[in-house]
Structure formats: C-alpha cells, structure tokens
C-alpha cells in the first residue's frame, strides 16, 4: 500500500469530480491512466468509484475499476496526498456477487455461496477493507453508502409503492435484520463514526437517498456524536431535476452537498444520440458509446421522451453559442447546493471538455439561458423519471 497520513485534513470539495463507473468496461487501463494523469494536470482532486464498478455490474468484473485506480496510485505514490478518493459500499443485493468479490480479494478465493449482502457494520468494514486493498491505499477520503438498506424507489423510479411499504422488496437479501426498514440508521451511523475514529475513512456520505433518509441519518449522527454525512450522490441532470424539491431542502438544512451523477444522462445530453428523425441510434455507431453497447442498462437515459427533451435543450445551446455539454454541465455546476459535478468519459478529450464545461458554468449560464431551460422543464419535466406502482 502507498504511504499516506490518514489524519490529514479532508480536502475541500471541488467543482469537478472524476467519475470512473465505466472504467474496465469502456475505458481500459491505458485510457484510465491517461485520464487520471490529465485530470491531475488540470488541477483535479476528487476521484469517485465504487466496489460495484464497472457498470453494468457483473460478478466477473466487479471491483475492477477500483483495481485500475489502485494500479495508478501504486505507479504514482507521490500523488496520493494530492488526490481524494471517494468510493462506495454496495447496498443490499440478493445474489451476493459483491460480497463474493470481497472475499476473493481478502481471502484469495471465491466462496460458493453467500446469503446476499446488506449494510451491517460487519459487512461495511469488510467491504471497506476490500476496497482499500484494491485501491492500494490505507484510507478513503469519502466513504459512501451506494444505496439504502431499506426499500426505496431507485434508478429513475419515483413511486414509493405498497410493496415497498410492506417490505417485500426484490433487492433485499434473505435474513436481513428488518425486511421493512433495513439495517437501523443508528447502527450504520455508529459504524461510520468508528471507521472515522480508526482513521480508515475521513468522511462519509449517502447516495441514491430520499429526504426521509437524509433527515434520519443526520439526526442519528447528531444524537450519536458522529460527524454528519458530507455529501449525497444522486442522479441529477436537465432530464432529472427531482433534487430541486424536498431533497434540496433537507440536504441544505444539514449542510449536505450534492454530488451529481448522470449529469449527461450517460451521454444522451452530449447530443451524440440525436438525429433529425429522432432515432435513438448514434449518428456514427460506436461500440464505445454506452447506450449503444449496453442498451438495456439505464434505459431511462435514452428513452424516447428523454431524447426529445434533449433535442429541445440542444436548440437552447445552439441559440446561445454553447455546446450541449456546456449547457448541461454548466447549468448543473451553478446550482446552489452543488458540491461536485461528476464527469465520466471514455477519452481524455471528452474528460477535458467536460472538466472545462463545469469550470466555465457560471460564465456560460446566463439568466436568459436559465429562463429557456426552465421553460423546457415546465413543458417536459423529468423525462428520465418513471412513476410506476409495479
């Protein structure tokens, strides 16, 4: 492991966070190293990953993204003190593939069977130890809960259903402590406080959370004397502005900053999937384009209604002499509750363009641009989101 000082001050959040969720699927070791090198040259600090990555998640490749980043850290140990690493522990799953990969990393062999996984203190620390080993470091700057232990609508769904209310939820592993409420909030918060005390993490955060979850976690932390969660990483873009509502109120009240993932909707808001006749196929088909390579993954990002709304935003960008990327990322960067906009790219050029679009956001997003964006949103609100009681 690289030498480091686990008690160093937590670096402040920066406008841009480098996302890595597709690395090891769409971006190989050479490409990821090139992005990391250039990111540091640009002054970038924060790198976001997860034990689940790359996506779409598989047993075979799970954890490979952390491994790539760890190899880069081992190659440049002097840079560990200049970059901040954010990773995530997976929430409950049934198959237990994530837990199996943890054991492969820590014990050198894959167990034949595990009974799912959840956010118990034992499993959180086990996951963290596996991430530390893959990342070749002895501490994590920001450790996030990838999704809640309790049943909630996830991945673009916006209905808290009767099925969820009763606790019968497909993501829950058999034998979890409470099938309706998940692992108790106090137990998770207490675990995070202990990991901070040990110096294994510097701060903790939430992801894919709700106003109820933010409030309960923060009140639990206050009660237990544990630092409040620093961040909440949720889906957020021109095509999904749900954070603007009660989530913004709850997070802002407690000083929890948003880390926006999906600000380009997996590439849809780059404009590269647009054609005159509204085809969802790319203008120049490329196996490296996420929605072309994995059409069944994150279909909400390239649904017809999302593409049609994207066309409207592209017209606004053209009118104001901006690229669609500058419009989408620049607008996200101007939100008052934003901690960092997470950019994920397949090439160095894409990463640099995205980085600059975020940095230049306040200059590019004028009041007239905001009015035009809001007019489209009122006409076509949140086209990435589905309301379903199924």
Catalytic residue numbers, as ranges = 53
Helices then strands (H, E): number in the chain? 14, 8
Q: Are 269 and 235 in contact (CB under 8 A)?
A: no
Strands 16-19 and 338-343: parallel
Distances (CA, A) of 32 to 67, 71, 125, 184: 11, 10, 27, 38
Residue 336's nearest CA partner among 317, 362, 310 is 362
Sign of CA dihedral 123, 128, 297, 109: negative
Beta strands in the chain (DSSP E): 16-19, 46-48, 84-89, 140-145, 201-207, 231-235, 257-261, 338-343
Sign of CA dihedral 271, 274, 275, 280: positive
Residue 257's nearest CA partner among 143, 142, 337, 359 is 337
CA dihedral 243, 247, 248, 254 (to 10 degrees): -150
**With helix as H, strand as E and coil as C, how does 151-216 read?**
CCCCCCECCCCHHHHHCCCCCCCCCCCCCCCCCCHHHHHHHHHHHHHCCCEEEEEEECCCHHHHHH
Residue 307's nearest CA partner among 261, 343, 283, 271 is 271
DSSP assignments along 234-253, one per residue: EE-BTTB-GGGTHHHHHHHH
């Amino acid at each position: 492991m690289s030498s480091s000082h686990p008690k160093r001050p937590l670096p402040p959040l920066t406008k841009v966070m480098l996302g890595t969720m597709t690395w090891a699927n769409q971006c190989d070791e050479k490409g990821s190293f090139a992005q990391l090198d250039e990111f540091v040259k640009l002054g970038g600090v924060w790198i976001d990953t997860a034990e689940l990555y790359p996506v779409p998640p598989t047993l075979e490749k799970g954890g490979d993204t952390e491994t790539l980043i760890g190899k880069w850290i081992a190659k440049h140990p002097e840079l560990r003190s200049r970059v901040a690493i954010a990773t995530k522990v997976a929430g409950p799953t049934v198959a237990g593939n994530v837990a199996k990969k943890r054991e492969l990393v820590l014990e050198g062999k894959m167990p034949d069977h595990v009974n799912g996984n959840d956010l118990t203190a034992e499993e959180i620390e086990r996951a963290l130890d596996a991430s530390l080993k893959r990342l070749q470091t002895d501490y994590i700057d920001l450790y996030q809960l990838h999704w809640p232990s309790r049943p909630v609508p996830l991945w673009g769904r916006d209905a808290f259903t009767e099925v969820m209310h009763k606790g019968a939820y497909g993501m829950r592993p058999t034998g979890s402590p409470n099938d309706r409420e998940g692992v108790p909030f106090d137990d998770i918060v207490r675990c995070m406080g202990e990991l901070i005390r040990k110096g294994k993490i510097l701060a903790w955060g939430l992801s894919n959370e709700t106003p109820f979850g933010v409030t309960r976690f923060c009140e639990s932390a206050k009660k237990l004397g544990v630092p409040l969660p620093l961040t909440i990483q949720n889906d957020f873009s021109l095509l999904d502005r749900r954070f603007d509502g009660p989530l913004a109120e709850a997070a802002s009240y407690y000083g929890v900053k948003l880390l926006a993932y999906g600000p380009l909707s997996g590439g849809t808001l780059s404009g590269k999937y647009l054609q005159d006749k509204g085809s969802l196929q790319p203008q120049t088909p490329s196996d490296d384009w996420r929605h072309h390579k994995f059409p069944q993954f994150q279909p909400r990002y390239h649904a017809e209604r999302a593409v049609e709304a994207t066309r409207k935003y592209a017209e606004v960008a053209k009118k104001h002499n901006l690229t669609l990327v500058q419009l989408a990322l620049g607008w996200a960067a101007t939100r008052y509750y934003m901690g960092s906009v997470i950019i994920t790219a397949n090439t160095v050029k894409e990463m640099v363009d995205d980085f600059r679009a975020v940095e230049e956001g306040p200059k590019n997003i004028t009041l007239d641009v905001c009015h035009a964006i809001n007019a489209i949103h009122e006409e076509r609100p949140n086209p990435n989101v589905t309301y379903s009681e199924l």
